[in-house]
A and B are shown apart, each in its own frame.
Chain A
Amino acid sequence: MKQQNLRHTTTRNAFFWGWVLILPTMVGLVILNIYPMIKTVYQSFCKTGDFGRGNIFIGTANYAKVFSDPVVWQATLNTFKYMIVEVPFSVIIALFFAVLLNKNIMGKSIYRTIFFLPMVAAPAAIAMVWRWLFNSQFGLINNVFHISTHWISDPSIAVYSIALIGIWSDIGYNMILFLAGLQEVPREYYEASSIDGTNGFQKFHYITVPMISPTIFFVLVTRIIAAMQVFDLIYMIMDRSNPALSKTQSLVYLFYQYSFVQKNFGYGSTIVVLLLMFIMVITVFQMFAQKKWVHYN
């Protein structure tokens, strides 16, 4: 009886303290995230009055406009182009260097420090220096290689130039995650396979990749989501007068322009809801696809 009483008070206690402790976070999440999300979805069905005031419900008109807006489709294409280049390269290069650094080599931490450096620099500063490196007339790249490529003003390549900056920025970050994953792979696996006479590539293919596939999956999912949200680099690098702007502006860039430059919250909301849909579809697809290639112990 006493035991039962005690258990009863513990349960009640846990209930009381549990809710007291999570209350600030829960209230915060509801005010800062849940309510805003619902409001954004609602606003995507509204027309914003002048100077960003007032919501007039207009049903699905914004969506009809989005689906027939060539600018939005071009921005979608730009965003996917950026993602399709940035993610695989930043992941593969990072994995390559992580495998190299996972060996017992001299100066390992120095290399790691250098690769990770872009992660702690302000994106605005990174964008500015790359813009300067890419400068077609005075830039380092063109002058060293004696070429005259218009890296960021040629509409056919500008989005890839920006992806290059993204790759440079993210390699270190991905590498750190891979290094953490590689540390979990038991050394004996490699030793055993050495006795069997496998070469480095076979070890990578048959041991490393399957063993760290959960990390690879995680990095891929988060990288893709982040790449779909590219904004800072495009905002900083592309001038309003840049002839390549329409071929590089991303969905989030459009969202920013509509929402906070033109104060058209309704249309801005519609674009961001569209982005959410894309991200959800891609993520769900990956969740299903992972069953084919990700090995959990």
Chain B
Amino acid sequence: MTRQKRITSLIIHIVLIVASLTMLVPFFWMFLTSFKTITESTQVDPFVIFPKTWSTDAYKKVLNTMNFLLLYKNTILMIFFRIVCAVVTSSMAGYAFGRLKFKGSGIAFSLVLFQMMIPSQIFIIPQYQMISKMGLPNTTFALVFPGLVSAFGTFLMRQAYKILPKDLEEAARLDGLNIGKTFVLIMAPLTKSNTIALSIFTAVFAYKELMWPMIVNTDKNSLVLASALAKMQGQYTSHYPELMAASLIACIPMILLYLVFQKQFVEGIATSGVKF
């Protein structure tokens, strides 16, 4: 390596390290604050960065006042059913749109594209009115409701099926499998990586959703992590160690999953791109 190249590489690393640390500051601060006492967190002269004694009081307090097990359960159920619904319906439709030529498919698919282009707030009031008319607020079904089908998932799976080679399908058909069986037995297993991508995408955005859970599930036993945090902030206004402890407890599982399944996470969200 020439001298100039080495210097360039050094500069690039310095820039990247500084940027990375800046990106991490909020997470560090969340972590450090959560182990402070309230007095320590509001001390400015001198300003405290690292807690003197790592106090776990904030954690004890939030674990006592908030039922995190229940919040996790509600959130996981919502995510689980949203994934199942999105994967099943989108795979079916994706296969049909990607591989079958049939009358009406063009107009049906334009409906899918149309939905993807419309901001989701336009659907929310009537969706809420339906849930409330059915008497189903404060249920898992209410949380899953807007995600029963997925236009975006359909779009993604259509692309996945479209690029599969033709011969496998033809061989299966010659062996006497009908279209339904060919889809389930031969084609669907070939889209595993896309299905995983769709699942992760669905999970992340369901986990991050705030407005819909806040609207339909207001009872304290049916909150999800996001809406519980929002509610908590109102009650603990300036008790930042508690707020940070609760935030961290709510974020840790997703962050751990991300660190373990990084490649799938990044692919899942990159292949998608679309987030309306």
Contact = CB atoms under 8 A, between A and B. Distances in A.
Contacts of B119: 225, 228-229, 272, 275-276, 279
Interface in A110-161: 110-126, 128-130, 132-133, 137-138, 140, 143-144
Contacts of A97: 16, 19
Interface stretch (B51-59, B60-68, B99-107, B190-198): B99-107
B126 interface: yes
A173 interface: yes
A40 to B, nearest CB: 5
A281 interface: no
B255 A117 contact: yes
Q: Which of A124, A171, A228, A231 has the most CB of B within 10 A?
A: A124
B255 A140 contact: no
Given A130-B26, A132-B240, A283-B117, A105 B9 contact: yes
B125 A268 contact: yes
Given A122-B254, A236-B230, A33 B118 contact: yes
A231 B123 contact: no
Contacts of B27: 117, 121, 129
B151 interface: yes
A211 B9 CA distance: 24
B125 A21 contact: no
B244 A13 contact: no
A191 to B, nearest CB: 15
A121 B247 CA distance: 9
A218 to B, nearest CB: 6
**Interface of B, helix, strand, loop or mixed by DSSP:** helix
Contacts of B172: none
Contacts of A123: 208, 210, 226
A122 B276 contact: no
A224 B88 CA distance: 31
A100 to B, nearest CB: 6
Contacts, number: 275
Given A122-B226, A125-B247, A129-B29, A34 B15 contact: no
A251 B12 CA distance: 40
Range class of the A interface residue count? 35 or more
Nearest to B49: A140
Contact of A133 (B26, B102, B207): B26
A107 B124 CA distance: 43
A218 B275 CA distance: 11
Contacts of A168: 23, 26
Interface of B: 9, 12-13, 15-16, 19-20, 23-27, 29-30, 33, 41-44, 47, 49, 88-90, 92-93, 95-97, 100-105, 108, 111-112, 115, 117-130, 145-146, 148-151, 154, 178-180, 183, 204, 207-208, 210-211, 214-215, 225-227, 229-230, 233, 240, 243-244, 247-248, 250-251, 254-255, 257-259, 262, 265-266, 269-271, 273-276
Interface of A: 11, 13-15, 17-22, 24-29, 31-37, 39-40, 43, 97, 100-101, 103, 105-107, 109-126, 128-130, 132-133, 137-138, 140, 143-144, 168, 171-173, 176-177, 179-180, 218-219, 222, 225-226, 228-229, 231-232, 235-236, 252, 255-256, 259-260, 265, 268-269, 272-273, 275-276, 279, 283
